[in-house]
Amino acid sequence: MNLAPVLEELEGAAEKLAIKVRYEVLASTVGHGGLCKINGELRVIIDKRASTAERVATLAKSLGQLDTSEVFLSPRARDTIARYAA
């Protein structure tokens, strides 16, 4: 299954919610990243070495903590967020 389109859609949703998504090298003890607040701004930091599936999971889990009802998302992207939000 090609997850690249889902990743792009989730990144776009984050942008519409004014959440910056950054890809950085993270220590292995941190995992693949997640949602955080830096200087009052929400950000999702994702390990740049993570696979596309791991990036989707991290971003979906992060977006699942927020209200995305005002952002258009395909059914596939919404299902992905719902799966990781639980």
Give the pLDDT of residue 30: 72
Q: What is the pLDDT along the chain (86 residues), one digit of tens a residue?
A: 799 999 999 999 999 999 999 999 988 777 789 999 999 999 999 999 999 999 999 999 999 999 999 999 999 999 999 999 87
The token pair that represents 80 in the structure block:
């992905």
Across the beta sheet with 20-24, the strand order is: 20-24, 41-47, 33-38
Give the pLDDT of residue 10: 97
Give the pLDDT of residue 32: 83
Cα angle 5, 83, 18 (rounded to 5 degrees) comes to 60
